[in-house]
C-alpha cells in the first residue's frame, strides 16, 4: 500500500494572478490572461500573443543581487515555492533537512539567458559570455536554488519531459514520500519561454494560435474553431507531505494524492498517438493506483491545449477509459485562461485541481462558442460551476509522447 500523501501548501504565479488567491479568483471568473507580447517586439511574427505574468516583483522573494544571477524561470520557481512553503505552515529549514526534497520540472529552462548570452558572444566573442551563463540556463538550477533556500537535503532534481515535466515532478515526489524516501517534497514546475526564439520556433511548427487581433479569445480548448495553443509562463508549486507528518503538526490538507500514471506514445515527435491511446493508459494507471473506481471520478483538468489533434484525441482517450461515465464528468481546461505553461503546466493544473476539490468550485473552459462534434463532453463552458468534487485527474501530455496523469481525492480519515 505505501504511505498516504497529502497536499498542505500551494503557490501560483500566472498570467491571471501573482499568487494563489488572485489566480484562483480570476480562473473562477473566467478571465483570460492572454495579451499582445511585451517581452520582445513581436512585429513580423506569425504569433504575436502570449499569456505573460504581469507586474512580477522578484525582489519580494529574492535578494536584488541574486535576481541578476537567476533566469526568470528560476525566479518564478523560487517565488511560487516560497508561497507554497509559507502556505503550508512548515518551519523550513527544520532539523537537518534530510527528509525534505525538491523536484521542479521545466521543459525549456533558461532560454532567455541563452538568447542574451548567445548575442553577447556573436557581438563580442567568448570573453563577453557571463560566468553565470551556464548556472542560469540549466533547467535543474531552479530545484537546486529552492533546496538551498530551505535546507532541503533529500531527493533533488529536475524533470524534463516537455509539457509533462511538472506532472512527472509531482508524480515522482508522491512516490518518494509513499515509499519512505522523504517526508516532505516541494514539487511543481516553472517556465519563462516567452522569447523571440521560442515563439518563433513554435510558430514555425504552426503549433500556436494566430488569432492576434483577439488575444483573449485565442485559447479555446475543445472549440471547433481552435487553431493552436497560446504560450503561457509562470509557475505552480505544491508542498506534498506524508499524512502522519502533516497531522502531527495540525496542517491544513487541501487534497490527497492518490496515484500517478506515466506512459509513452512511442509514436511521433510532436503528434499524439491516434485515438489518445497513450493518454488513456496513463489515466488508467493513475486510476488503478488510486484505488477508486472510474465511476467515482467527478472532474478532469484536461491537458486541453486548444490544438486540433490534442483536444480530439484527449476526448477519445477519456471516453475509452470512462465509457458512458465520460459524459457525467466535468472536463475543464484552464489553459483557456492561463495559456500553456509548457513544462510548468502540470504544476499549475495540479494546484488548480487541488483547489477544485478543496473549494467545490470548478473553473470554466472559456471561449466555448462553436461546438465540435468530435469534442462532445461537458467542458464546463464559459461559467464557473459549484460542484462536489471528491475525486479528480490532472492530465499532462508532452512532445515526444510523454504522458502523465495525476489522481487526487478529498482527504478523508
Q: What is the pLDDT of residues 274-304, one digit of tens each?
A: 999 999 999 999 999 999 999 999 999 999 9
- 132-164 per-position pLDDT tens digit: 999 999 999 999 999 999 999 999 999 999 999
φ and ψ of 386, to 5 deg: -85, 130
Half-sphere exposure of 262 (CA within 13 A, CB side): 15
Residue with cell string 511560487: 80
pLDDT over 80 at 325, yes or no: yes
- 90-104 per-position pLDDT tens digit: 999 877 899 999 999
- Catalytic: 340? yes
CA 397 to chain centre: 11
Estimate the share of the chain in helix, then strand, then coil, as percent rounded to the nearest 5.
40, 20, 40
pLDDT over 90 at 247, yes or no: yes
The CATH architecture of the domain made up of 5-248 is 3-Layer(aba) Sandwich (3.40)
Using 50, 70 and 90 to split pLDDT, how confident is the model at 373? very high
d(CA 319, CA 52): 33
Options 3.40.47.10, 2.80.10.50, 3.40.50.620, 3.40.50.300; CATH of 259-409: 3.40.47.10
Give the model's pLDDT for residue 413.
Answer: 83
d(CA 131, CA 360): 49
Q: What is the mean pLDDT of residues 310-335?
A: 98
- Catalytic: 303? yes
Give the model's pLDDT for residue 70.
Answer: 98
pLDDT over 90 at 169, yes or no: yes
What's 270's DSSP letter? S
Contacts 24+ apart (CB under 8 A), 214-217: 215/32, 215/34, 215/35, 215/36, 215/49, 216/32, 216/34, 216/35, 217/32, 217/367
8 A C-beta contact, residue 401 and residue 266: yes
Residue of 114, 158, 163, 168 marked active site: 163
- 45-102 per-position pLDDT tens digit: 999 999 999 999 999 999 999 999 999 999 999 999 999 999 999 999 877 899 999 9
Q: What is the mean pLDDT of residues 4-26?
A: 98
Sign of the alpha-carbon torsion through 226, 317, 173, 133: negative
Closest of 106, 228, 220, 110 to residue 167, by C-alpha: 106
Task: Check if 5-248 and 259-409 are the same fold.
Answer: yes
Q: What is the mean pLDDT of residues 117-121?
A: 98
**3-class DSSP assignment, residue 246:** helix
| Predicted TM-score (pTM) above 0.95 | yes
Task: Extract the runs of DSSP E, i.e. beta strands, from 230-283.
Answer: 234-242, 255-264
φ and ψ of 362, to 5 deg: -115, 120
The contacts of residue 35 (CB under 8 Å, 6+ apart) are 49, 50, 51, 52, 215, 216
In the structure grid, which three cell numbers stand for residue 413, read together?
Answer: 480519515
d(CA 42, CA 51): 14
The contacts of residue 258 (CB under 8 Å, 6+ apart) are 286, 289, 290, 291, 292, 391, 407, 408, 409
What's 211's DSSP letter? -
Give the model's pLDDT for residue 95.
Answer: 75
In the structure grid, which three cell numbers stand for residue 276, read together?
Answer: 489518445
d(CA 342, CA 195): 13
Q: Are strands 299-301 and 330-332 parallel, antiparallel or unpaired?
A: parallel
Q: What is the mean pLDDT of residues 259-288?
A: 96
- 378-389 per-position pLDDT tens digit: 999 999 999 999
d(CA 135, CA 352): 31
Give the model's pLDDT for residue 1.
Answer: 76
8 A C-beta contact, residue 363 and residue 30: yes
pLDDT over 80 at 342, yes or no: yes
Residue of 303, 358, 375, 402 marked active site: 303
Give the model's pLDDT for residue 93.
Answer: 82
Domains of the chain by residue range: 5-248, 259-409
Residue of 245, 340, 358, 402 marked active site: 340
Sign of the alpha-carbon torsion through 23, 166, 272, 203: positive
Q: Which ranges of 30-97 does DSSP label H, i.e. alpha helix?
A: 64-67, 72-88
Give the model's pLDDT for residue 290.
Answer: 98
- Catalytic: 163? yes
SS3 sequence of 341-408: CHHHHHHHHHHHHHHHHHHCEECCECCCCCCECCECCECCECCCEECCCCEEEEEEEECCCEEEEEEE
Using 50, 70 and 90 to split pLDDT, how confident is the model at 404? very high
Amino acid at each position: 500500500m505505501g504511505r498516504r500523501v497529502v497536499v498542505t501548501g500551494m503557490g501560483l504565479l500566472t498570467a491571471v494572478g501573482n499568487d494563489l488567491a488572485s489566480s484562483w479568483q480570476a480562473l473562477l471568473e473566467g478571465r483570460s490572461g492572454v495579451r499582445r507580447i511585451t517581452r520582445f517586439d513581436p512585429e513580423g511574427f506569425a504569433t504575436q500573443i502570449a499569456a505573460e505574468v504581469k507586474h512580477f516583483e522578484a525582489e519580494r522573494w529574492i535578494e536584488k543581487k541574486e535576481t541578476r544571477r537567476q533566469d526568470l524561470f528560476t525566479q518564478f520557481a523560487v517565488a511560487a515555492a516560497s508561497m507554497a512553503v509559507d502556505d503550508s505552515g512548515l518551519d523550513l529549514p527544520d532539523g537537518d533537512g534530510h527528509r525534505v526534497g525538491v523536484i521542479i520540472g521545466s521543459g525549456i529552462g533558461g532560454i532567455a539567458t541563452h538568447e542574451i548570452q548567445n548575442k553577447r558572444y556573436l557581438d563580442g566573442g567568448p570573453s563577453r559570455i557571463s560566468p553565470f551563463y551556464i548556472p542560469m540556463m540549466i533547467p535543474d538550477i531552479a530545484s537546486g536554488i529552492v533546496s538551498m533556500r530551505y535546507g532541503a537535503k533529500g531527493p533533488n532534481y529536475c524533470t524534463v519531459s516537455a509539457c509533462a515535466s511538472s506532472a512527472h515532478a509531482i508524480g515522482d515526489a508522491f512516490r518518494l514520500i509513499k515509499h519512505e524516501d522523504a517526508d516532505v517534497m516541494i514539487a511543481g514546475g516553472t517556465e519563462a519561454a516567452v522569447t523571440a526564439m521560442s515563439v518563433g520556433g513554435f510558430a514555425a511548427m504552426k503549433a500556436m494560435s494566430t488569432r492576434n487581433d483577439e488575444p483573449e479569445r485565442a485559447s479555446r480548448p475543445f472549440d471547433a474553431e481552435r487553431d493552436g495553443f497560446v504560450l503561457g509562463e509562470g509557475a505552480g508549486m505544491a508542498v506534498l507531505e506524508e499524512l502522519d507528518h502533516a497531522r502531527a503538526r495540525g496542517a491544513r490538507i487541501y487534497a490527497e494524492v492518490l496515484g500517478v500514471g506515466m506512459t509513452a506514445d512511442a509514436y511521433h515527435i510532436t503528434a499524439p498517438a491516434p485515438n489518445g491511446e497513450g493518454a488513456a493508459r496513463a489515466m488508467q494507471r493513475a486510476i488503478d493506483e488510486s484505488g477508486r473506481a472510474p465511476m467515482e471520478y467527478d472532474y478532469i483538468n484536461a491537458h486541453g491545449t486548444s490544438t486540433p489533434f490534442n483536444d480530439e484525441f484527449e476526448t477519445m482517450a477519456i471516453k475509452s477509459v470512462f465509457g458512458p461515465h465520460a459524459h457525467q464528468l466535468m472536463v475543464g481546461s484552464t489553459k483557456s485562461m492561463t495559456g500553456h505553461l509548457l513544462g510548468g503546466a502540470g504544476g499549475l493544473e495540479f494546484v488548480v485541481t487541488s483547489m477544485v476539490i478543496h473549494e467545490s468550485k470548478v473553473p470554466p473552459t472559456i471561449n466555448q462558442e462553436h461546438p465540435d462534434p468530435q469534442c462532445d463532453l461537458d467542458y464546463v463552458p464559459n461559467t464557473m460551476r459549484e460542484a462536489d468534487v471528491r475525486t479528480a485527474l490532472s492530465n499532462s501530455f508532452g512532445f515526444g509522447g510523454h504522458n502523465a496523469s495525476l489522481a487526487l481525492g478529498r482527504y478523508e480519515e
